[in-house]
Amino acid sequence: MIKVKIEKKENQIECIKISGHSGYAESGYDIVCSAVSSVVTTSINAIVSFKETIKVEDDGNVLEIRILEYDDITNKLIHNMINLLKEIEKQYKENIKVEGE
């Protein structure tokens, strides 16, 4: 299962951690993993193209997105990413879990 953990401080998103594998299908054919990867990669690239308001670390097991500075664009893109991940979760409850929002 893919786990998306949203960490907040004072009602602001501080960090998003994504880990695990969906287990929907074998590697290379897993549409849930592909969808999550697409949503997250597109969101990160969009934010970074405007400003360096996030820090991204990937140790191969956990992808961590830490918000360094909130502005309107970062806020909208982070919330859009979370909403898209929740939409995936609605259809694939056994393969992805979004926690903390």
pLDDT of residue 53: 96
pLDDT of residue 11: 87
pLDDT of residue 32: 97
Query: Quick one: which of 55, 49, 64, 66 has its CA closest to 12?
Result: 66
List residues bridging with 3 in a β-sheet: 19, 97
Q: Domain ranges in the chain?
A: 2-99
Instruction: Indicate the helix (H) or strand (E) that contains 16.
Output: strand 12-19
Average pLDDT along the chain, 101 residues, taken 10 residues at a time: 95 95 91 97 96 95 96 96 98 96 72
pLDDT of residue 28: 85
Residue 29's SS3 state is coil
Statement: 2-99 belongs to CATH 2.60.120.380: no
- pTM for the model: 0.93
